[in-house]
Amino acid sequence: MKRVIFITSVLIFSIAFISGAMAQEVKIGTLLSHTGPLKEFGPNLQNGTVLAALHMKMAGFTIKLIHEDSETSAIPATNAAKKLVEIDRVVGIVGALASGVTVPVAESVTCPNNVIMISPASTSPLLTILPADQGKDFLFRTCPSDALQGVVAGKLAATYNKTASVLYVNNPYGQGLAEIFKENFEKKRGKVLAMIPHDEKAAESYTAELRKALEGNPDRLCAFSYPDHAKVYLKEAIEFFKYRKFLFCDGTKSFDIIKALGARNVEGQMGTAPGTAGGMPWIIFNSDYKVNFGTLPPLPFITNAYDGTAVIGLAAFAANVKGLPLTATNIRNNLRAVANPPGEVVMPGEFKKAFDLLRKGKKINYEGAAGSVDFDKNGDVTTPIEVWKFYKGGIETVRVEHMF
């Protein structure tokens, strides 16, 4: 009789433990751009995080998202991050977009407080060395470093041009991309005539910077900025300097630029951006995004925002089934375990399958909407780089280059 009671008690405890794991809630903040030079991108990336939370909830695990606006600026973003960490008590933050925002937020808020930060869009090579500088392992990203995009951009420009100049936003993103582009363009025997920075804050005119950048009449002007910057200076280049040969990047993969310049002025012109690996993970994501938010726009990093939210949720569930408190450290300690091989592959929306495997003590390997989320020791991933072009008033992919 005592044995029956003991077995029954163990069974009740096990059911209660599993139910507790299913019922647990984890708080995640988002720190995306809803105002400022990257405001075109923020709402769609937020949709990506919301879709991941919806998929988690359908599988039985609740992510409470708390959204904040980075304003695409370091000071307001830092204040918003402090609110998320100190008042809302989030375990992780998905964001920011601009590298010039992510770096100071990581340095002053998330890393010192042992809170996870996963950027879906900060591509500066500086992020690779930042965790080592901090002596922490709380900064990750689901987008590739511009150490990859710059290679493809340099090769693309060298295919058609002998000279180029670069007009770039003066922050870690613009600086990093410009320098790596220059290195790789010149490896292909191109020559960079000028590297001209401009301020992070959008200005009403860039004629002084354009005059320097266009001196010597480069074959191509690289627009390595954000939409609110580039739509001004590219229009000025066309109207005042009669110049219209541009190379774009992820930061200028923008419908606002089409509207500002007119479709005919950018028709057929190309750029690079972190892309998606395609295949079934992307098909699932694309289909579910359309159901919930309408057609997926061809803007960068929406898939990466989904993946950042998904891996935090999966790592939280993995920690929970091990009986660990849902602290940021415990979740961080499970990030690579759920996202990297070995393990059974789970794709976007397959979170019930993932949870069942984790309950059984099995390993999982999340393959994301953007590509593999195999975090290296620095929290970096390697995903494809896309070559794209403006076409008939829209944006379309020309090809995808796999960098591994």
Domains plus CATH for the chain?
Answer: 25-142+278-366 (3.40.50.2300), 146-274+385-401 (3.40.50.2300)
Mean pLDDT by 10 residues, the chain (404 residues): 40 41 78 98 98 98 98 98 98 98 96 97 94 82 96 97 98 97 98 98 97 98 98 98 98 98 98 95 97 97 98 98 97 98 98 98 97 96 96 97 77
User: What pLDDT, on the 0 to 100 scale, is given for residue 22?
Assistant: 46
pTM of the model: 0.93
Element (DSSP H or E) covering residue 197: strand 191-198
What pLDDT score does 225 carry?
Answer: 98
User: Residue 7 class from Cβ within 10 Å (0-12 exposed, 13-18 middle, 19+ buried)?
Assistant: exposed
Give how far Cα 14 sits from Cα of 10, 20, 331, 352, Å: 6, 10, 22, 19
Nearest partner of 252 among 348, 138, 395, judged by Cα: 395
Side chain identity at residue 263, one-letter code: A
Q: Alpha-carbon distance 291 to 119, whole Å? A: 25
